């Protein structure tokens, strides 16, 4: 297959698939997760924005964008909160950021594939705060386990499910908008007829 044909396929994919942006809190994101997100973005024809307060190695792809914020604490989180929109998907292991994203009614998962929702985020935040206090008193060790193959598979499955769900919702909204636009001229004509 020639290069032009490949480019044509990519352009067709980008045009046919409703826009969904994948946002990655990349400061502490495992390299394997970054690769999985990059592959998903290329497959779906959408954009993945990796946000961090320092340069992060990325897969070279037109679907991947590195967003480097100011080198200060929480800068990446603030950027994602400011620019992520309903219909996007955020990937983060930061529970505080996840809570803000859930409150904004935006989909969010962590790098292990857990989906954060209004039903579970408060409990997760309470546990996080409790463990944070214990560690501050020297009473609890760090509990983050190494990221393994099973974690990667679980994340990939969750990423596929959540992006598929968002794309279905986007297509429904797009179809509904198209129907409303098609109905508008006839409705306008009826209104004008009624005024005569």
- For every residue of 8-70, DSSP letters joined together read HHHHHHHHHSPP-EEEEEGGG--HHHHHHHHHHHHHHT-EEEEEESS-------TTEEEEE--
- Read off the tokens for 47: 């954009």
pLDDT of residue 140: 61
Lowest mean pLDDT among 17-21, 158-162, 185-189: 185-189
- Read off the tokens for 96: 């505080």
Whether the pLDDT of residue 188 is over 80: the answer is no
Q: Name the pLDDT band for 2 (thresholds 50, 70, 90).
A: very low
Average pLDDT, the chain: 81
For residues 44-48, give the mean pLDDT: 95
Q: Name the pLDDT band for 139 (thresholds 50, 70, 90).
A: low
Q: Which residue has the higher pLDDT, 182 or 173?
A: 173
Distance between CA 136 and CA 176 in Å, rounded? Answer: 52
Q: Name the pLDDT band for 119 (thresholds 50, 70, 90).
A: confident
**Domain 18-170 is in which class?**
alpha beta
pTM of the model: 0.75
Strand order through the sheet with 89-91: 64-68, 47-52, 21-25, 89-91, 107-109, 115-116
Q: Name the pLDDT band for 13 (thresholds 50, 70, 90).
A: very low
For 87-97, what is each residue's pLDDT tens digit?
999 999 999 99
Query: 3-class DSSP state for residue 107?
Result: strand
Q: Name the pLDDT band for 128 (thresholds 50, 70, 90).
A: low
Quote the DSSP letter at residue 120: T
Query: 3-class DSSP state for residue 83?
Result: helix
Residue 7 vs residues 2, 11, 37, 57: alpha-carbon distances, Å: 9, 6, 21, 25
Whether the pLDDT of residue 54 is over 50: the answer is yes
Helices (H), 104-148: 121-136
Whether the pLDDT of residue 72 is over 70: the answer is yes
- Read off the tokens for 57: 């190695």
Lowest mean pLDDT among 6-10, 29-33, 52-56: 6-10
């Amino acid at each position: 297959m020639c290069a032009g044909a490949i480019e044509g396929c990519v352009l067709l994919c980008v045009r046919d698939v409703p826009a969904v942006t994948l946002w990655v809190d990349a400061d502490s994101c495992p390299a394997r997760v970054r690769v999985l997100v990059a592959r998903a973005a290329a497959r779906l024809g959408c954009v993945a924005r990796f946000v961090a307060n320092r340069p992060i190695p990325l897969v070279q792809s037109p679907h991947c964008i590195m967003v480097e914020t100011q080198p200060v604490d929480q800068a990446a989180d603030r950027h994602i909160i400011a620019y992520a929109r309903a219909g996007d998907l955020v990937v983060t292991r930061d529970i505080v950021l996840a809570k803000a994203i859930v409150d904004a009614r935006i989909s969010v998962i962590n790098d292990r594939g857990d989906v954060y929702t209004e039903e579970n985020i408060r409990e997760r935040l309470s546990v996080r705060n409790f463990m944070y206090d214990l560690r501050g008193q020297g009473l609890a060790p760090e509990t983050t386990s190494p990221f393994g193959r099973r974690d990667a598979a679980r994340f990939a499955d969750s990423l596929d499910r959540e992006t598929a769900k968002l794309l279905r919702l986007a297509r429904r909204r797009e179809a509904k908008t198209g129907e409303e636009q098609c109905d508008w001229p006839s409705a306008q004509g009826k209104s004008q007829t009624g005024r005569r």
